[in-house]
Structure 1
Amino acid sequence: MITKQIFPLTYIFSEIKISLLTVTLIGVVVDIFPIFFPGFLPDIPISIATTLGIAISILISFKVNQSYDRWWEARKVWGEIVNDSRTLVLQLKMYMDPSDPIIKTIAYRQIAWCYSLGQSLRKTDPLKNLGGLVSELELKQLQSQKNVPLGILNFQIDPIRKQFDEGKLDGFSRLQLEGTLARLTASMGKCERIKNTVFPTTYRKGLHLAIYLFVIFLAMSEPLRLFVVLEVFILVIISMVFFFLEKAAFRLQDPFENQPTDTPVTSIARTIDINLRQLLDETGIPQPIESNDFYVM
């Protein structure tokens, strides 16, 4: 997630450099072509480029709104994960003997689940950094799981059932814990839905093509028949706004792609890690993940 209002220009240009190079080539070709083929390229009324520019602005505005909705939904889901993770440990301390070691076991599994879920959503190793949070036997069992976070949640069932069977947990308390686990499962499903629902690629390709057409019509319009360097500079500046907004919307629509614009799932998982260890009255609590340059993951 980008955390600073001002971020490097290098990041902007790295995102749209190919598009800007294409615009530069279009400007140079449109300006030089009439020298070798006089009268071949007609003068286009500026109103055509203006109308197309307005249409593009409306389309980009719509895409930015839709993409932000997806990003914001992902952020809200992870906010729910924070709340339910804290609730799980608080419920265990409330309903069970606070000195029972099973509380720590379940809390550590929940920390592992948060890290693993974020890593699996980003298509990285879901078992990374789980050492010390789950047992060696559980870690070995998870290696054969296609959905590692679901496997970790599955581990949480047996100790709760055992506590209930042994009479250490009453029916009401069990229902409350089951409700918390159900909400965590639902949150995982929401994240997977966002991850696996592809934003229509034809929409982006059509919008990208429309911006190039806008550049061509603008370059061929009479008011922009200027010195080639100045004309190309104007084309690049105007198109840069469209391309950057379009690229920003493209990044936001996929909030789990290991990009600076991601939902900061690793940072949130570390926050949960810190919170749950504090509830367990532990020392040696890890530090929060700091912003890396202009973003935090």
Structure 2
Amino acid sequence: MIIRPHLNWFRMLLAWKGSVLPQLLPRLLVIFCISIIAVAVHDHILKITVNLNPTPFSLIGIALAIFLGFRNSASYDRYWEARKLWGQLLNESRSMTRQALTFPRHTGDAGDAGDANAAADADETREFVRVLGAFPHALRHQLRRSDPREDLAARLPTPLLERVMGSRHRPATIMLWLGEWVQRRAREGRLESWTVLAFDRNLNGLSDIVGGCERIASTPLPFAYSVMIHRTVYFFCAALPFGLVDSIGIFTPIFSVFVAYTFMALEAIASQIEEPFGTEDNDLALGAMSLFIEDATRDLLGEPALETQTPGQPPFSLS
């Protein structure tokens, strides 16, 4: 996803990266060529005649605009739900980090033994938070079906790394380890029973987030619905020059390309955001989101900040 500050009106007109125009240029060139043919036919340069009444195009255009509106709304609903799930992941991660750092523990010792227990307890808590920080990276790779080893190797202890890499659902395996950590400390008497329930509620929240993301990733919009709109858009745009040429003549290529750009761009944007976990320009910035969530947990530990942005970009936030 392209993350950039708001542009002024003139720079917005010239924006290239992040728009769908680059991928539409070949298609718009085809519409331009068809428009030239329509003008040539109308001016009797070619020895054929194609005269279409513009009235049907007005009716079809209105209906097509309504269908595209529904298509974009359905796609944006998926995009926005995915965005809310990752915002919830930030909240759950911060809550679990706070709980691990502040909930009461029972050490039962004093003096050097107590200091040693406190140091060991702090190391275990730090390990818990670091594993929790690896969770969004595991989820991101699971949704994109990419290899997470490089990211997870820098964040997980070796035994857990091999256990996670050997599983089919890696985020669920990390959640299992987090639950085992809580239960182990509860058996040792270092967590109260009510704190275990608090941890469990947050772990259930993580499970709900994973399930929601998997539902979006595995259930696209019905293919027949998408292909019907796709075919209608391209048929309409290809026939439009022959409906306009009688009224606007030589300006037909300009208006035909502009109308085609509007309809094709709406269809292309809807197609991109329908799968919000992808890697196209307008998909969710899962890489930046994963780093931001991890950095939020590290901040509660008092560790240095991670690089979550590139020069010239505004600070990224899930809030």
What TM-score results when the alignment is normalised by the length of structure 1? 0.89
The answer on whether the counterparts of 2:308 and 2:316 sit within 8 Å (CA) in structure 1 is: no
Amino acid at match of 2:149: L
The answer on whether the counterparts of 1:68 and 1:253 sit within 8 Å (CA) in structure 2 is: yes
Aligned to 1:110: 132
The answer on whether the counterparts of 2:92 and 2:202 sit within 8 Å (CA) in structure 1 is: yes
Aligned to 1:158: 180
Amino acid at match of 1:242: F
Q: Are 2:59 and 1:51 aligned?
A: yes
Match 1:223 to one of 230, 239, 246 = 246
Measured after TM superposition, the shift of residue 149 of structure 1 is 1.3
**Secondary structure of the structure 1 residue equivalent to 2:166:** coil
Measured after TM superposition, the shift of residue 291 of structure 1 is 7.3
CA distance in 2, matches of 1:79, 1:204: 29
The answer on whether the counterparts of 2:20 and 2:268 sit within 8 Å (CA) in structure 1 is: no
The answer on whether the counterparts of 2:85 and 2:212 sit within 8 Å (CA) in structure 1 is: yes
CA distance in 2, matches of 1:66, 1:75: 14
**Secondary structure of the structure 2 residue equivalent to 1:156:** helix
Distance 1:22 1:204, change over 3 A: farther
The answer on whether the counterparts of 1:260 and 1:296 sit within 8 Å (CA) in structure 2 is: no
Amino acid at match of 2:249: L
CA distance in 2, matches of 1:18, 1:152: 46
Match 1:38 to one of 19, 37, 48 = 48
Match 2:76 to one of 51, 68, 75 = 68
**Deviation per residue, 1:29-62 (Å, 9 max, x gap):** 43445644433x2x21111111111111111111
The answer on whether the counterparts of 2:137 and 2:290 sit within 8 Å (CA) in structure 1 is: yes
Q: Are 2:261 and 1:261 aligned?
A: no
The answer on whether the counterparts of 2:130 and 2:156 sit within 8 Å (CA) in structure 1 is: yes
Q: Are 2:131 and 1:123 aligned?
A: no
Measured after TM superposition, the shift of residue 118 of structure 1 is 1.3
CA distance in 2, matches of 1:152, 1:188: 12
**Secondary structure of the structure 2 residue equivalent to 1:134:** coil
Measured after TM superposition, the shift of residue 184 of structure 1 is 0.4
Measured after TM superposition, the shift of residue 242 of structure 1 is 0.9
**Deviation per residue, 1:108-127 (Å, 9 max, x gap):** 11111111111221222222
CA distance in 1, matches of 2:28, 2:315: 24
Amino acid at match of 1:54: I
CA distance in 1, matches of 2:132, 2:220: 29
Segments of structure 2 that go 5 or more residues without pairing to the other structure are: 7-11, 106-117
Aligned residues: 292
Measured after TM superposition, the shift of residue 21 of structure 1 is 2.8
**Deviation per residue, 1:217-272 (Å, 9 max, x gap):** 42222535623xx4222211111011111111111111001112122222122112
**Secondary structure of the structure 2 residue equivalent to 1:130:** helix
Amino acid at match of 1:287: E
CA distance in 2, matches of 1:182, 1:96: 22
Segments of structure 1 that go 5 or more residues without pairing to the other structure are: none
Amino acid at match of 1:226: G
What is the root-mean-square deviation of aligned Cα atoms in Å? 2.5
Question: Which stretch of structure 1 is more off in the superposition, 169-178 or 140-149?
Answer: 140-149
Aligned to 1:3: 3
Distance 1:285 1:295, change over 3 A: closer
Amino acid at match of 1:118: R
Identity level (%)? 23
The answer on whether the counterparts of 1:264 and 1:296 sit within 8 Å (CA) in structure 2 is: no
Measured after TM superposition, the shift of residue 135 of structure 1 is 0.8
**Deviation per residue, 1:76-133 (Å, 9 max, x gap):** 0011000000000111122244751221111111111111111221222222312232
Distance 1:231 1:94, change over 3 A: same
What TM-score results when the alignment is normalised by the length of structure 2? 0.83
**Secondary structure of the structure 2 residue equivalent to 1:30:** helix
Distance 1:47 1:255, change over 3 A: same
Question: Which stretch of structure 1 is more off in the superposition, 155-164 or 15-24?
Answer: 15-24
Aligned to 2:193: 171
Match 2:269 to one of 239, 248, 269 = 248
CA distance in 1, matches of 2:263, 2:225: 15
The answer on whether the counterparts of 1:107 and 1:276 sit within 8 Å (CA) in structure 2 is: yes
Q: Are 2:134 and 1:134 aligned?
A: no
CA distance in 2, matches of 1:275, 1:36: 67
Measured after TM superposition, the shift of residue 146 of structure 1 is 1.3
Q: Are 2:227 and 1:205 aligned?
A: yes
